[in-house]
Amino acid sequence: MQQKSLTFITRQAPYGTNKAKLVMDFALASAVFEQKINFLFIDDGVFQLVQNQNAEFILSKTTGRALETLELYGIKKVLVDAVSLEERDLSEEDLAIPVKILKEEQVRQIAAYSDVVINL
């Protein structure tokens, strides 16, 4: 099967819109087709990673479980934009899953070296 490098950029907070889920589902579907996948959290998207969330109180599904499925589907490159974390006063210890934190220049390179960038 044809293989491409796909970078999924998720930018929206976990609740309120379903964009976070749309990006995640697209990435997981691509993983089934054995593509090279980068999953990159930018802007408010980093809030999806904050640990110990419980969305039952707002009658929603907690994103934490979806994050764990990334690994189950073999998506190893889970990346976070350092600037977005810093702007929101978050650090690596606040996050629910292991990630790789990227500097601005590395974020640019990831996008530049991907065949396709999906940005939602």
Partner 1 sequence: MTAYQFAKEAVSQGHEIYRVFFYGDGVLNANALSVIPQDEMNLPRAWEEFLTNHGIDSVACVSSALVRGILNSDESTRQKFAGVSLHESTQIAGLGQLVDATLHSERLISFV
**Contacts of partner 1 in 26-45 (CB under 8 A):** 26, 29-30, 32-33, 35
Among residues 22 and 66, whose Cβ is nearest to partner 1?
A: 22
Among residues 52 and 59, whose Cβ is nearest to partner 1?
A: 59
* Stretch near partner 1 under the rule CB under 8 A, chosen from 2-10, 47-55, 67-75, 105-113: 2-10
Position 76: which residue type? K
Pair 111, 117: CB distance under 8 Å: yes
We find the least distance from the C-beta atom of residue 49 to partner 1, in angstroms, to be 21
The 10 Å CB-count burial string (b at 16+, else e) for 3-27 is: eeebbbbbbbbbbeeebbbebbeeb
